[in-house]
Amino acid sequence: MSRRTEIEVGITVLVALAVLIWGVTWLKEFSLERRVRVWTVSFSQSGGLGASDEVQVNGIRKGEVKSMQLVGDHVVVDLALSAEITLTSLCRVAIRNVGLMGEKVIAVDLKQDGQPYTPRDTIRGVYEQGLSEVSASLGEAMGAVSLLADELRGVTQVLSKSGDLAKTLKNFRQTSEELKQSVNENRAMLKSTIENFSASSQTTKRLTADREAELRKAFTDFASAAEKMDHLAGRLDSLRSALQSVTGKLDSGHGTLGKLVNDDKLYTDVSEAAQNIKALIADIKANPKKYFKVEIF
């Protein structure tokens, strides 16, 4: 066999081997893609999560992180989960710490209830702080507490030097003793007062219970009277408006009564007519024969 033939055979074997490996890998990925569904979840931060990290559903591994990308101020993660897993609106998807070294996994608290998501939806995830984040927060809190303790210590030292702290504590102790003594001296009176108040309360309750029907009737009558007063007020308001209208007409001289009130001449004529009628009646009484003639047949 020539050298060229050997080279051609070797190249052919290498190409066949590459095609075989590529085919096996493609078939494996194709088989995996048929058995999984990809869900998109948005997190505020990833906390060191990486591709191929596992996804646990209620503590059981059911998938892995397929890809991650930064979109705006959020991290969008594609999860490849088993096809039998369906996420709903009540499911909780969180980045969770496992182990002491801060390993990250995505934990899914699966719930069958709720509105099912579709693979096109973007699910809102939750980032859970791990031991390191909690320790850092605790360190900041301890620093603040230490600073507050130093300030209180300084205030205490200043008050101790001036004597105000001891004086304040002494006054407080004296006031407490006086209050305690006062309570002891008036304990019987306080007890009697409380008993009297309780008895008065019971009496009031008993009177109210005995006359409940009368009180209800009185409240009903009062409500009825208030309603009638409202109606009366409305009618009085209408009467007031009518009187104002009549008064206005009288003042402006409209109508007979208005003319009589506002026309001085008409008042004078009426007064003179009344005087003439009065004189005529007096004359008739004095001289009846002058006005009445009686003939007898």
Q: How far apart are alpha carbons 65 and 78 in whole angstroms?
A: 6
pLDDT, tens only, 176-208: 887 878 777 777 777 777 888 787 777 777 777
Q: What is the pLDDT of residue 30?
A: 46
The residue that leads in pLDDT, 11 or 116, is 116
Q: How many residues does the chain have?
A: 297
pLDDT, tens only, 26-82: 655 544 455 788 999 999 988 888 888 899 999 899 899 999 999 999 999 999 998
Ramachandran region, residue 104 (left: φ > 0; alpha: ψ -120 to 50; beta: rest): beta
Q: How far apart are alpha carbons 240 and 246 in whole angstroms?
A: 10
- The residues that bridge with 74 in the sheet, in sequence order, are 71
Can you list the positions of beta strands (E) in the chain? 36-43, 54-57, 60-71, 74-82, 92-98, 103-109, 122-124, 126-127
For CA atoms 43, 44, 46, 47, the dihedral sign is negative
Q: What is the pLDDT of residue 223?
A: 80
